[in-house]
Amino acid sequence: MTYYERQLKKQGYNCIIGVDEAGRGPLAGPVVAAAAVLNTFHFENRIDDSKKLTSVQREKAYREIIENSVFGLGIVSEKIIDAVNILEATRKAMAEAVSSLMKKLSPTPEKRIHILVDGNFPVDSGFPCIAIVKGDSKSISIAASSILAKVTRDGIMLEYDKVYPQYRFAKHKGYPTKEHRDILRKLGPTLIHRESFSYV
């Protein structure tokens, strides 16, 4: 999980940013991206693709990551997803996450920055960037960002569950489960549903 980080360190990069998102597939709610620089690669909790972890494991990892990193978040609403499509919305969320992180990092000539991002497309940031397919299972920096993004988005959906309790967002987080699709057919969409998605 640290191969890419070690290779970049050998090349003289001393500020390695991992970037990932959560929420491309749901029928409701925002897409959330995180960008993080880890202060250590040694964690007590398992740092891996957030989808491979249980909610309890994610929460524990999340708390350890925020104590051992500098990070930024990007949150793009369902309205913007509908307006520009999910791919562009995801790229926008990632760019916002990097921008948020940069405000905390205060880049200097001494900081040699390199970005590792999950997926097929580099982040538009002005810094060197490698896009890694399934990067959240190959890079600890990306995996940490996947956990930050997932836990943040789940928290948002838990708040929406209080507004729309009959939709059971706390259970499925907006993903197209059978239960969610059945509820949609019965009750119709809420204001946070993505109208451009199938089933909505």
- pLDDT tens digits for range 99-137: 999 999 987 878 899 999 999 999 988 899 999 999 999
User: Do residues 99 and 3 lie in contact, with contact meaning Cβ atoms separated by under 8 Å?
Assistant: no
Rounded distance between C-alpha atoms, residue 39 and residue 69, angstroms: 5
Answer whether 0.75 is exceeded by the pTM. Answer: yes
Report residue 127 CA to chain centroid gap: 19
In a domain, 74, yes or no: yes
In a domain, 30, yes or no: yes
Q: How many CA atoms lie within 13 A of 133 on its CB side?
A: 1
Q: Which CATH number characterizes residue 41's domain? A: 3.30.420.10
In a domain, 71, yes or no: yes
Which DSSP category does 197 fall into?
Answer: S
In a domain, 77, yes or no: yes
In a domain, 170, yes or no: no
Extract the residue ranges of the chain whose pLDDT is less than 50.
none
Please tell me the total count of domains within the chain.
1
In a domain, 168, yes or no: no
Q: Which domain holds residue 147?
A: 3-158
User: Average pLDDT of the chain?
Assistant: 96
**197 contact partners, CB below 8 Å, separation of at least 6:** 27
In a domain, 126, yes or no: yes
Residue spans of alpha helices (H) in the chain = 3-10, 55-67, 78-84, 86-105, 140-163, 169-172, 178-187
Rounded distance between C-alpha atoms, residue 63 and residue 118, angstroms: 22
Which DSSP category does 110 fall into?
Answer: T
In a domain, 135, yes or no: yes
